[in-house]
A and B are shown apart, each in its own frame.
Chain A
Amino acid sequence: MLWCPDWPVVAAARDLGLSPLDPVAVFSANRVRACSSAARAAGIRRGLRRREAQARCADLVVVADDQGRDAREFEAVAVAVERVAVGVEVVRPGLLTLPVSGPASYFGGEDRAGERIVDAVAIDTGLECQVGVADGLFAAALAARRGTVVPVGESGSFLAPLPIAELARVTELTGVGSDGSWTALVDLLRRLGLRTVGDFAALPSDRVSSRFGAEATRVHRLARGQEERPPSPRRPPADLAIEEELDPPVDRVDTAAFVARTLAERLHLGLTAHGLACTRLAITAVTENGEELTRTWRCAEPLTVAGTADRVRWQLDGWLRAPPGERPTAGVRLLRLAPDETSPAGEFPRELWDVGGGSRQLDERAERALVRVRGMVGPDGVLAAVLGGGRGPAERVRLVPWGDPLEPRHDPGAPWPGRLPPPSPTVVPVPPTPAGLRAEGGEPVGVTGRYVLTGAPAVLVVEGEREREVVGWAGPWPVEQRWWSADGGREARLQLVTLAPAGNGAGSSNDQGAGEDQEAFLLVRSGGSWFVEGRYE
């Protein structure tokens, strides 16, 4: 993670040709958004009104906020870092991230790699920057502010002693929670007497989710040093990338902005159709002379249409207004947006609310109730079921904690010869209940190596229950799977129909009169014993 302090100011100073020693402040909505160190020495702080700032420092250079300028100037830094390391991704102007493992082994250590990167940026652009290394985007951003290297797995202990206000810092660094929700949360935590990040991290997570809600649960995970992104980002299907031939070629920024908006909308239409959200976006431009420029943007939060459009516009701006020599020699002919990394969109992608048969109001109410229940029974107490591939009824269902990514255990699209056809058992005991099966004469029924029953089943004894008389059976069906692994091997399945044991279902059978009641079971023979794998109740 590489961080350039006061980037808006640095970008403005470069753009206007000012010295880094001049007092400069960038204003947004009449308030100071960022200021140079000289201005800071004169008593100027973030959030100050313009009048007051000018009163404190008479020769202050006042510059308007311009995100396009920030992004354009930052491109030079990205190029400089790319000269010494690969995998550069821009988080936002002023902050970029790259995997440290490659440069670290090449330069001999994370510290050395950091030095080389800082040197490269200083030589190429004459700018100062700081480098921090940590496990996740969040911890790395805070490490970069301090210029420290956090060893692998130590993010939690690095974060613990930091003051709680640092959580809100991350908002300005990465843009996460920029709607003010984090600031409000941090304020609340401070008033509750939690002074450090560690104090907050020490709270049990179910309590946090029931008291502060879903967003706070996320912050809580970050505070514990757990990576904020789901551990299994999905590789998106290739057809989600979109291309646009630009005719005539684009060489002006205002035209580029217009193109960026329409492209972003098309990209998001494709993503929502797949229920995905983009967290890393690769922007590629091909010029008329065949030059190909690519830059990857990484985002801590799923990109919105506006966020995507902004990044495309900034990037084109950066390329088209680069200093001569680095600027492409002709207009951009082709523009490609590829979602490099996607994650499942939140349970309810906005655009799909009314399409999937569900209603937004119902879904939101249900989600709120589930968050509350999760607080009562613990995060693993509320489960979601995912159907996948497999042969047995238990194997095909995976239960994951509510809110986790819904990944099936086995690929449902793969062929599963020997899979049981419907109907499936309505009750699937976990683990399967041991059972005994006897023939007419009382001898136990087994299955031979050729999958033949050794006798006609007559009596079923489920452990802990009364004997049942068998009236019909189907099978046995062989299951030979995964003989190469410990959980595989040879099994056989048998469906049984029995008479209900006398006295079962006390109240009802008396009222209902004489009809006989049948029950059905799915038995599996494994390791020389029978187990009830399912009941068709």
Chain B
Amino acid sequence: MLVVAASVASLSAMDGVATASGMAVGAGPGAPRVLPVRTELAALLPWGGLRRGSTVAVRGSTALLLSLLAEATTAGSWAAVVGMPAVGVLAAAEAGVAVRRMPLVPDPGPDLPGVVGALLDGIELVVVAGFAGVGETRLRRLSARARQRSAVLLPVVGREPWPGADLELSCAEATWQGPGRGDGRLLERTVSVRARGRGAAARPRRVRLTLPAGSSTPEDAAGRNADVPGVSRVLAGSEDAELLLAGGGQWAGGQARVVGPGTGLTGV
């Protein structure tokens, strides 16, 4: 046995040679068992990251989902997104996801399990949404496939849970900072994320998070900074004689322009 172990080790040390056990789990012999996530999120996950082969369901927040993908894709992993035609790619890029390694399958068609299964064979993180109507057995089989291929399956769940998920992260009690009554802009939200699952995740955890992560800066917290794109208003008597102050937006910064009683400008 020792001899076998030694020869397997020497095999796997050779460049381009994959050992049989390495092939079976679909990952290189030296691949880490846990894919990295942001430090704030690591506290939520019993494994300190996304464990290969696990199914982690996400409920209630696309932003949370995107921030889960960020670290792993920057480190070289791929993340396919299935059945989310409206996912905000720009928000993904802002969350730190390497968009180049994020192929999208907006409409997987009638054979969703087939598409997800094929993706799990080669892609380490697979996000799947819109699986309502697919039988529970087939969904369980997808989780099993993820386990076998050492991939991470991330179902986006709504009303129905994903059967046999190792962990479910649900997002609630979102509170937004930024907008007042017409001033400021959206800055960030704090959410309460609750994780519960099976095995090592059986003990529920709850964390308050800021999303998008790391967006807050002292200047921003005031809700009024120079980055606001539009116009802040100073009402001068009537609506038609208002003073439009440019805030680094439509007009060059610092310039003020008085608009006289206008004619011909129709409502937008």
Binding site for B on A (CB under 8 A): 357-359, 361-363, 365-370, 372-373, 376-377, 381-387, 393, 396-397, 399, 402, 417-430, 446-454, 456, 472-478, 480, 490-493, 495-497, 505-509, 511-512, 515-520, 525-526, 528, 534, 536-537
B231 lies within 8 A of A478 (CB) = yes
Chain B residue nearest to A500 in the complex (CB): B174
> Could you list 28 examples of A-B contacts with CB < 8 Å?
A366-B123, A381-B108, A387-B99, A421-B229, A422-B215, A423-B91, A424-B88, A425-B88, A426-B63, A426-B88, A428-B86, A428-B87, A450-B265, A452-B239, A452-B242, A453-B182, A456-B182, A472-B180, A473-B181, A475-B185, A505-B59, A507-B59, A517-B172, A518-B174, A518-B189, A520-B176, A520-B189, A534-B88
Residue of B107, B118, B181, B215 ringed by the most chain A CB atoms within 10 A = B118
Q: Using Cβ atoms and an 8 Å threshold, which residues of chain B touch A386?
A: 99
Q: Using Cβ atoms and an 8 Å threshold, which residues of chain A touch B266?
A: 449
Chain A residue nearest to B75 in the complex (CB): A357
Given the contacts A357-B76, A426-B88, A383 and B104 also touching, CB distance less than 8 Å: yes
Given contacts A450-B239, A450-B244, 19 further A-B contacts (CB under 8 A): A357-B76, A369-B121, A376-B109, A382-B103, A384-B104, A387-B89, A393-B90, A417-B229, A419-B229, A427-B88, A448-B268, A452-B239, A456-B181, A472-B180, A474-B183, A474-B184, A478-B250, A505-B59, A511-B170
User: A-B pairs with the 10 shortest C-beta distances?
Assistant: A369-B122, A449-B265, A477-B230, A515-B173, A474-B179, A426-B62, A365-B122, A385-B89, A424-B90, A366-B78
CB of B142, distance to nearest CB on chain A (Å): 14
A478 lies within 8 A of B28 (CB) = no
Chain B residue nearest to A381 in the complex (CB): B105
Contact for A452 among B92, B186, B233, CB less than 8 A: B233
B175 at the interface (CB under 8 A from A): yes
Give the dominant DSSP class at A's interface. Answer: mixed
A421 lies within 8 A of B231 (CB) = no
CA distance A317 to B176 in the complex (A): 71
Total residue contacts A-B, CB cutoff 8 A:
261
B46 at the interface (CB under 8 A from A): no
CA distance A384 to B100 in the complex (A): 7
CA distance A428 to B111 in the complex (A): 25
A393 lies within 8 A of B212 (CB) = no
CB of B209, distance to nearest CB on chain A (Å): 14
Given the contacts A426-B66, A428-B86, A517-B174, A473 and B109 also touching, CB distance less than 8 Å: no
CA distance A528 to B268 in the complex (A): 6
Q: Using Cβ atoms and an 8 Å threshold, which residues of chain A touch B90?
A: 387, 393, 396-397, 424, 428
CA distance A446 to B268 in the complex (A): 8
Chain A residue nearest to B119 in the complex (CB): A369
Chain B 52-63: CB-based contact to A (< 8 A → 1; otherwise 0): 000000011111
Q: Using Cβ atoms and an 8 Å threshold, which residues of chain A touch B115?
A: 373, 376-377
B74 lies within 8 A of A450 (CB) = no
CA distance A493 to B179 in the complex (A): 13
CA distance A393 to B244 in the complex (A): 25
B102 lies within 8 A of A385 (CB) = yes
CA distance A365 to B239 in the complex (A): 61
Q: Using Cβ atoms and an 8 Å threshold, which residues of chain B touch A381?
A: 105-109
B13 at the interface (CB under 8 A from A): no
CB of A508, distance to nearest CB on chain B (Å): 4
Q: Using Cβ atoms and an 8 Å threshold, which residues of chain A touch B66?
A: 426
B75 lies within 8 A of A475 (CB) = no
B186 lies within 8 A of A368 (CB) = no
B87 lies within 8 A of A426 (CB) = yes
B254 at the interface (CB under 8 A from A): no
B194 at the interface (CB under 8 A from A): yes
B88 lies within 8 A of A490 (CB) = no
Q: Using Cβ atoms and an 8 Å threshold, which residues of chain B touch A490?
A: 268
B250 lies within 8 A of A418 (CB) = yes
A422 lies within 8 A of B94 (CB) = yes
B242 lies within 8 A of A475 (CB) = no
A430 lies within 8 A of B63 (CB) = no
CA distance A480 to B229 in the complex (A): 12
Contact for A447 among B100, B124, B194, B267, CB less than 8 A: B267
A448 lies within 8 A of B28 (CB) = no
CA distance A383 to B100 in the complex (A): 11
CB of A427, distance to nearest CB on chain B (Å): 5
Chain B 236-260: CB-based contact to A (< 8 A → 1; otherwise 0): 0001101010000110000000010
CA distance A249 to B183 in the complex (A): 71
CB of B52, distance to nearest CB on chain A (Å): 13
B62 lies within 8 A of A537 (CB) = yes
CA distance A495 to B183 in the complex (A): 10
B262 at the interface (CB under 8 A from A): yes
A473 lies within 8 A of B182 (CB) = yes
Contact for B118 among A376, A393, A428, A450, CB less than 8 A: A376
CB of B32, distance to nearest CB on chain A (Å): 12
A359 lies within 8 A of B76 (CB) = yes
Q: Using Cβ atoms and an 8 Å threshold, which residues of chain A touch B107?
A: 377, 381
Contact for A478 among B105, B106, B230, CB less than 8 A: B230
CB of B36, distance to nearest CB on chain A (Å): 12
A427 lies within 8 A of B86 (CB) = yes
Chain B residue nearest to A406 in the complex (CB): B100
B230 lies within 8 A of A446 (CB) = no
Chain B residue nearest to A477 in the complex (CB): B230
Contact for B105 among A382, A477, A506, CB less than 8 A: A382
B89 lies within 8 A of A397 (CB) = yes
Chain A residue nearest to B212 in the complex (CB): A423
B91 lies within 8 A of A450 (CB) = no
Q: Using Cβ atoms and an 8 Å threshold, which residues of chain B touch A427?
A: 62, 86-88
Given the contacts A366-B78, A451-B268, A474-B186, A425 and B89 also touching, CB distance less than 8 Å: no
CA distance A363 to B215 in the complex (A): 31
A536 lies within 8 A of B186 (CB) = yes
CA distance A425 to B92 in the complex (A): 9
Chain B 147-172: CB-based contact to A (< 8 A → 1; otherwise 0): 00000000000010100000000111
Chain A residue nearest to B109 in the complex (CB): A377
Q: Using Cβ atoms and an 8 Å threshold, which residues of chain B touch A450?
A: 239-240, 242, 244, 259, 262, 265
